[in-house]
A and B are shown apart, each in its own frame.
Chain A
Amino acid sequence: MKKENVPQDMGALGKITKEVCYATDSNGKYVTELSNGWDVKNSALDVAWKDVEERIAVAKQKVLNGEASPLLFFMECRLMDMEILAGYSGFWQWQVKRHLKPDVFKKLSDKKLQKYADAFNVKVEDLKTMTVHEA
């Protein structure tokens, strides 16, 4: 890539910091050039977030249909998989898997719910009602 072709399409990152790109100057020598971003990858990032939104919507519907506990909804909101949630909540993965069943979830003690609430950074009450306050 030639230095003058380093794209300068403002994206989420460009607002906070420019990024270093390697490109060649007129003599073919490599130099660094700062970039605000590139439309091609900005839109790739948009695709990733759109997918997240869709997964949240699907999870919400599953919870409302009684097919999953609210944990699934919050996992999608916080981009977590079973391993990550197990890590932050302190439960084992097989326990998390069990708690994803609505019937099991309903019987969880407040103490256990609090662990999940902390992992998701919400209140226990919000956990049950699928209420998200943006952190």
Chain B
Amino acid sequence: MKLDFEHHQSAHCESGVTSSLLRESSLNKITEPLAFGIGAGLFFCYIPLIKINNGPAIAFRTFPGLIFKRTCNALGIPVIRKKFSSKEQAESYLIERLKEGHPVGCQVGVYYLSYFPREYRFHFNAHNLIVFGKEDDNYLISDPVMDTPTKLTSYELERVRFAKGALAPKGQLYYPQSKAVITEEQIRKAIISGIKTNVNQMLRIPGNFAGVSGIRYTGKKIKNWRDKLGLEKAGSYLAQLVRMQEEIGTGGGGFRYIYGAFLQEAQAYTHHDQLPEISKLFTQAGDLWRTAAVHAAGIYKGRLGSQEDFNQMGDYLIEIAELEKKAFLALKNIKW
């Protein structure tokens, strides 16, 4: 059994899966940047009290699952989403959907994901892939970050669908219920609602740990890392920051480039002249994040290490916060 499904490589797993699952009903119009932007994917968050892999909990994107949910909501597409307590039920439900002709999105953990390079296999449970068929004991997998479709045996798929730990997927699967055609007008409205949500997310969340103020707060914190953590641990923390920002799935520059691409594409639907200019601000922000990453690498590779270097690192983030504030304020002030 093999569904008529075309694999597309993308930068980020969830927006890639969203784009692919909506390909048929949107007639290829919902690209990855559109899915990311409509789903209001851009974010920043640093929670000092929580540790991930013994390092700081930093995110450059919104909470897992939200991009698919928001994109489908904004486009008015009903979504089926299910978690399972039984592995058998999780598999039989999946097979039934495939028989009905639905490619299905699955949340999985990457630790046991056999086709991933070993160096990348941490206990990270918010990866997403699409199952689009089964041949003998092999499920046909479209993993958006891989350049070609792959396969997992039924045991391997079960193991990653029931990975344990934080954000355990519990066999979660999801797919758009209808294949009704999405109109350009729907896309236009969805784009506007996605931008508004993202503006709120970056400018209005109270407290200093999230959004633009979260970036500034992290910048201030980084200046203390050298004294507080010691040079080596501070270096490891910065390495974790860089991985969250640049590692596979971000499209580069902490998702800022994908967002820049989204605003360019949004222009074609909304015809708003300011969008290309605002897109450039996000390109600048992405570039600055990467400049900061090069500086951070100087620290964790041992080439830099003075307090002055940490101050500089913190100042980069404070500068980025100002830049992104400017960009989101410009988006906020658009009269749609």
Could you list which residues of chain A lie within 8 angstroms of chain B, going by C-beta atoms? 1, 6, 12-13, 15-24, 28-30, 32, 34-35, 38-41, 43-45, 47-49, 51, 55, 79-81, 83-84, 86-88
- Could you tell me the distance between the alpha carbons of A34 and B252 in the complex, rounded to whole angstroms? 11
Which residue from chain B places its CB closest to the CB of A134 in the assembled complex? B118
Interchain CB contact (< 8 A) of B242 among A12, A23, A44, A86: A44
Q: A12-B117, A40-B246, A84-B164 are in contact. Are A21 and B239 (CB under 8 A)?
A: no
Q: A19-B11, A21-B252, A30-B257 are in contact. Are A13 and B117 (CB under 8 A)?
A: yes
17 A-B pairs besides A28-B276, A83-B164, A84-B165 with CB distance below 8 A are A1-B257, A1-B290, A13-B119, A21-B252, A23-B252, A30-B264, A30-B265, A40-B246, A40-B293, A40-B294, A45-B247, A48-B55, A48-B122, A51-B54, A84-B166, A86-B164, A87-B168
Q: Which B8-35 residues have a C-beta within 8 angstroms of A? A: 9-11, 33
- Could you tell me the distance between the alpha carbons of A24 and B261 in the complex, rounded to whole angstroms? 9
Could you list which residues of chain B lie within 8 angstroms of chain A, going by C-beta atoms? 9-11, 33, 53-55, 111, 115-120, 122-123, 145-148, 164-166, 168, 235-236, 239-240, 242-243, 246-248, 251-253, 257-258, 260-261, 264-265, 276, 279-280, 283, 286-287, 290, 293-294, 296-297, 300-301
A88 touches B261 (CB 8 A): no
Q: A41-B293, A47-B236, A87-B165 are in contact. Are A1 and B253 (CB under 8 A)?
A: yes
Residues of A within 8 Å of B260, CB to CB, are 22, 24, 30
A22 touches B246 (CB 8 A): no
A48 touches B53 (CB 8 A): yes
- Could you tell me the distance between the alpha carbons of A35 and B293 in the complex, rounded to whole angstroms? 17
Residues of A within 8 Å of B276, CB to CB, are 28
Q: A30-B257, A40-B246, A47-B235 are in contact. Are A16 and B10 (CB under 8 A)?
A: no
Residues of B within 8 Å of A83, CB to CB, are 164-166
Residues of B within 8 Å of A30, CB to CB, are 33, 257, 260-261, 264-265, 279
Which residue from chain A places its CB closest to the CB of B166 in the assembled complex? A83
- Could you tell me the distance between the alpha carbons of A135 and B123 in the complex, rounded to whole angstroms? 16
B35 to chain A, nearest CB (A): 13
B123 touches A79 (CB 8 A): yes
Residues of A within 8 Å of B145, CB to CB, are 17, 19-20
Interchain CB contact (< 8 A) of B297 among A20, A43, A88: A43
- Could you tell me the distance between the alpha carbons of A6 and B264 in the complex, rounded to whole angstroms? 20
Residues of B within 8 Å of A39, CB to CB, are 297
B74 to chain A, nearest CB (A): 21
- Could you tell me the distance between the alpha carbons of A18 and B148 in the complex, rounded to whole angstroms? 10
Q: A23-B252, A29-B264 are in contact. Are A41 and B164 (CB under 8 A)?
A: no
A20 touches B10 (CB 8 A): yes
Which residue from chain B places its CB closest to the CB of A31 in the assembled complex? B261
Residues of B within 8 Å of A28, CB to CB, are 276, 280
Residues of A within 8 Å of B280, CB to CB, are 28
A15 touches B252 (CB 8 A): no
Interchain CB contact (< 8 A) of A43 among B240, B257, B301: B301
Interchain CB contact (< 8 A) of A79 among B111, B115, B296: B111
- Could you tell me the distance between the alpha carbons of A88 and B10 in the complex, rounded to whole angstroms? 31
Q: Which 9 A-B pairs have the closest CB atoms?
A: A87-B164, A30-B261, A84-B165, A47-B239, A12-B119, A22-B257, A44-B239, A20-B11, A44-B242
